[in-house]
Amino acid sequence: MTIIVTSKVQQITMNHNGQWGHKGYIYTTVGTYTLKIKKIQKKSKLKSITMGYGDKPIHQDLGREPTELTVTCSLENGSTCDSLRSFVNTLNIPKKKVHNVFLPGQILYVISNSGIIADIPLHSAWRIDKASIEQSNINRCTFTLNLLRDERAEKEF
């Protein structure tokens, strides 16, 4: 299973819908990556509180949490650490460290999802909540990305 994503950074601007003085966002593309996905876990949950006072607990819904996705993957052009290291050197990223490829807070926007239909829809935007890079003793580098769906951002792309 492979997907192609573009990673974007969000910047604040004081211009929104052509009007100055209103806060808006601009999204700058940092890079395009092809991800080979090994495992996906998708989670949706409700934000709620339960108060246990009195004879009957009171349950209150506060809305829903953003859909959460845990993806274990590797970069197609850098599945071994050696190839990943040379790939990182070609990227236009601040400080050419592999930690900076998937910066938490960045948005991954799906431009191709061949082989995956339901989990990661085309043209969906996912905010990187946590990124883990693991180097194993067989010299493979695996990324585990915790992603939160950012439906507000994807309306702007």
Partner 1 sequence: MAGLIFNYYQEKVQNDGTITYILKKELPEIKAVNVCKVDIEFNKFVVQATEPPEIFPLGVQGKTASISGSFGSPIDSILTLPSILDDYAIQPGYVLSVKTDPNNTAWLLHDGLWKIENFAFDREGLKQGKIDFNASLIYIWEDNESMYKYFGEGNPVNP
Q: Which residues bind partner 1 (CB under 8 A)?
A: 9-12, 28, 30, 47, 62-66, 81-82, 85, 92-100, 102-106, 127-137, 139, 148-152
Question: Taking the complex as a whole, how short is the minimal distance between the CB of residue 129 and partner 1, in angstroms?
Answer: 7
Residue 129: CB atoms within 10 A of its CB come to 15
- Beta strand 2-16 with 107-112 is antiparallel
For the chain, first and last CA: distance in Å?
Answer: 24
Q: Which is nearer to partner 1, 12 or 117 (CB)?
A: 12
- Shorter beta-carbon distance to partner 1: residue 110 or 150: 150
Cβ(96)–Cβ(120) under 8 Å?
no
CA count, 13 A, side-chain hemisphere, 110: 22
| Smallest separation (angstroms) from partner 1 to the CB of 121 | 14
CA 61 vs CA 50, 52, 152: distances in Å: 9, 15, 21
Output 25 or 111, the one with its CB closest to partner 1. Answer: 25
Nearer to partner 1, 34 or 142 (CB): 142
Assigned token pair, 104 = 């938490």
Closest separation between CB of residue 55 and partner 1, Å? 28
Task: Output the smallest distance, CB 152 to partner 1, in A.
Answer: 6
